[in-house]
Amino acid sequence: MTNEEMRRLLLEISARLDVIYRCEKHWAARWRKGDKGMVLYPPAASTAIDNLERSLGKALPPQYRQFLSVTDGCEHFWDDFSFLGTEGKHSARVTAKILQYIEGQRSEVKQDFGVVNKKTISQWEAQNPRYMFLEQHLPIATTFGGNVFLFDVRTEDASGEMGVVFWDLSWGAWDDRRDANFAALLERTLKEVNERATKYKSRSSTRGVIKKAASKKQRDRKAR
What's the CA gap between 113 and 110, in Å, rounded? Answer: 5
Residue 215 confidence (pLDDT) = 54
170-219 pLDDT, tens digit per residue, is 999 998 889 999 999 999 999 999 999 998 876 655 444 334 433 543 45
The three-state (H, E, C) secondary structure of the chain, written as one string: CCHHHHHHHHHHHHHHHHHHHHHCHHHHHHCCCCCCCCEECCCCCHHHHHHHHHHHCCCCCHHHHHHHHHCCCEECCHHHCEECCCCCHHHHHHHHHHHHHHHHHHHHHHHHHCCCCHHHHHHHHHCCCCCCCHHHCEEEEECCCCEEEEEEHHHCCCCCCCEEEEEECCCEEEEEEEECCHHHHHHHHHHHHHHHHHHHHHHHHHHHHHHHHHHHHHHHHHHC
pLDDT of res. 34: 84
As a whole number, mean pLDDT of residues 70-89 equals 97
Res 91 pLDDT > 70: yes
User: Residues 111-135: pLDDT tens digits?
Assistant: 999 999 999 999 999 999 899 999 9
Q: Is it the case that residue 137 has pLDDT exceeding 70?
A: yes
User: Residue type at 120?
Assistant: T
To the nearest whole number, what is the mean pLDDT of the chain? 90
All domains of the chain in start order, with CATH: 3-99+129-214 (3.40.1580.10)
Predicted confidence at residue 213, as pLDDT, reads 39
Which strands sit side by side in the sheet containing 163-168, from one edge to the other?
39-40, 74-75, 82-83, 138-142, 147-152, 163-168, 172-179
Residue pair 126/113 in contact (Cβ under 8 Å)? The answer is no
* pTM of the predicted model as reported, rounded to 2 decimal places: 0.86
Cα Rg, the chain, nearest whole Å: 22
pLDDT tens for each residue of 37-68:
999 999 999 999 999 999 999 999 999 999 99
Which residues does 27 contact at the CB level (< 8 Å), separation at least 6?
20, 21, 76, 80
**How many angstroms separate the CA atoms of 175 and 166, rounded?**
8
Model pLDDT for residues 8-37, shown as the tens digit of each residue: 999 999 999 999 998 998 998 888 888 889
